[in-house]
């Protein structure tokens, strides 16, 4: 089970439709495929999605930190020495998605070595999750039409609506149009990606009180410390912390400080090992959890559903598992399929998915 190689391969696959939100936009999935090989000839894989507007990482920085710092630190360790891996990687601050992809590739390799699925290794609670779809910025009519297509084609009935534009009525009109169109047949929540101030957020949430929102996510920056506490105190729905809770210490700080009341777990930023820690912390604190999407490709989505389905608390709510639908292609030999609003965990050892070598050859950038 000894690690013999760590590769970081940049690849780029265009989106058919860009995703726009308050902190940025994505037009091409410029991700990094991480492959970990062992002395037994096993290869574990995961993907890192660079999000400079969220974590400061770029595709080039992820490749560089893995090639020059992380790979030399972990080659020679055993797959089971995850705590040692974590301790070594954490000597470098930041770089969450690079670290997470290494962690998840290790779990995939361990599952393949032992012949057990990662989701079973993590907790094995269920084999599926309901799916929540993220609606990026557009005019109200276009966002309603997109939601109709997603309901009709995939049976998805939970939507996270991107908000955070000015004036706030641009976005509240979208949410109202969705509620008018679907009545109570869909679940709706909003994510501001820090686009509004605390007072704009409260104005918007008051304007939407009759619309039955389930959650509000990261409407204003956590760094507006007192403003955010003031806002969260006034809301009557749980306030999800997403990009403000990269580490478990962040979760503790934001929740105990009154700046969040629920947590988004993204395997793309905390891997499986860190996501377990966040899950257990949230359980101890009695917080609701949502499995978030770091605008993942299919490999990243397979990781999210493997983790989310592993626990009761992460599979209770619909998970954000559908952004890959807007990509023009992907790397897997067998594409993920969302049916009747659900995504199944892949059976098979490890993550249960394989990268198609021809597709990787077509999209790799090195």
Residues lying near ligand MUC in the complex (CB under 6 A) are found at 21, 23, 51, 54, 191, 193, 242-243, 292-295
Distances (CA, A) of 195 to 17, 192, 223, 265, 352: 22, 5, 12, 20, 38
β-bridge partners, 5: 37
Nearer to Mg ion, 112 or 162 (CB): 162
Is 366 catalytic? The answer is no
Least CB distance to Mg ion at residue 2 (A): 38
Runs of H (alpha helix) within 75-186: 82-89, 96-114, 118-122, 140-154, 169-182
Binding partner of 304, given ligand MUC, Mg ion, none, CB within 5-8 angstroms per partner class = none
Least CB distance to ligand MUC at residue 12 (A): 18
Q: Pick the binder of Mg ion from 103, 171, 191, 342 (CB under 5 A).
A: 191
Nearer to ligand MUC, 243 or 326 (CB): 243
In the set 57, 103, 243, 266, the catalytic residue is 266
Nearer to ligand MUC, 144 or 190 (CB): 190
Q: Distance between CA 287 and CA 159 in Å, rounded?
A: 21
CA angle 79, 80, 82 (to 5 degrees): 90
Nearer to ligand MUC, 178 or 190 (CB): 190
Q: Distance between CA 216 and CA 189 in Å, rounded?
A: 6
Is 162 catalytic? The answer is yes
Q: Are 323 and 353 in contact (CB under 8 A)?
A: no
User: Which of 342, 237, 322 has the alpha carbon at shortest distance from 288?
Assistant: 237
Q: Distance between CA 292 and CA 151 in Å, rounded?
A: 19
Binding partner of 294, given ligand MUC, Mg ion, none, CB within 5-8 angstroms per partner class = ligand MUC
Is 337 catalytic? The answer is no
User: Contacts with Mg ion in 229-288 (CB under 5 A)?
Assistant: 242
Q: Which residues of 224-250 are buried (b: 16+ CB within 10 A; e: fewer)?
A: beebbbbbbeebebbbbbbbbbbeeeb
Q: Output the residue with the shortest Cβ distance to Mg ion.
A: 242
Is 217 catalytic? The answer is yes
- 84 φ, ψ to 5°? -70, -40
In the set 242, 243, 254, 330, the catalytic residue is 242
Least CB distance to ligand MUC at residue 196 (A): 14
Least CB distance to Mg ion at residue 56 (A): 16
Q: Active-site positions?
A: 162, 191, 217, 242, 266, 294
Where does this chain bind Mg ion (CB under 5 A)? Answer: 191, 217, 242
């Amino acid at each position: 089970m000894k690690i013999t190689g760590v590769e970081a391969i940049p690849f780029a696959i265009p989106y058919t439709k860009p995703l726009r939100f308050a902190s940025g936009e994505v037009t091409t999935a410029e991700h990094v495929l991480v492959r970990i090989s062992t002395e037994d000839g096993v290869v574990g894989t995961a993907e890192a999605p660079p999000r400079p507007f969220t974590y400061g990482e770029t595709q080039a920085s992820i490749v560089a930190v893995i090639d020059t710092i992380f790979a030399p630190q972990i080659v020679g360790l055993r797959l089971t020495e995850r705590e040692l891996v974590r301790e070594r990687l954490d000597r470098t601050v930041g770089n969450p998605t690079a670290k997470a992809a290494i962690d998840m590739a290790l779990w995939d390799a361990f599952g393949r070595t032992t012949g057990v699925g990662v989701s079973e290794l993590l907790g094995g609670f269920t084999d599926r999750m309901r799916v929540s779809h993220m609606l990026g910025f557009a005019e109200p009519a276009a966002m309603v039409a997109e939601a109709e297509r997603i309901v009709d084609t995939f049976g998805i009935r939970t939507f996270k609506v991107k908000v955070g534009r000015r004036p706030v009525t641009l976005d509240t009109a979208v949410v109202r149009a969705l509620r008018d169109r679907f009545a109570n047949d869909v679940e709706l929540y909003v994510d501001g990606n820090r686009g509004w101030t605390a007072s704009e957020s409260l104005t918007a949430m008051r304007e939407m009180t009759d619309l039955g929102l389930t959650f509000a996510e990261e409407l204003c920056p956590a760094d507006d410390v007192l403003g955010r506490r003031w806002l969260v105190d006034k809301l009557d729905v749980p306030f999800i912390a997403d990009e403000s809770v990269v580490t478990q210490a962040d979760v503790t700080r934001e929740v105990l400080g009154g700046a969040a009341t629920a947590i988004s777990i993204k395997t793309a930023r905390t891997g499986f090992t860190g996501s377990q820690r966040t899950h257990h912390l949230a359980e101890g604190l009695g917080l609701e959890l949502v499995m978030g999407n770091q605008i993942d490709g299919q490999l990243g989505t397979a990781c999210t559903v493997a983790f989310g389905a592993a626990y009761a608390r992460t599979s209770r709510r619909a998970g954000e598992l559908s952004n890959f639908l807007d990509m023009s292609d992907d790397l897997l030999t067998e594409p993920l399929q969302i049916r009747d609003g659900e995504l199944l965990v892949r059976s098979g050892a490890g993550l249960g998915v394989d990268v198609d070598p021809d597709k990787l050859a077509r999209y790799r950038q090195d």
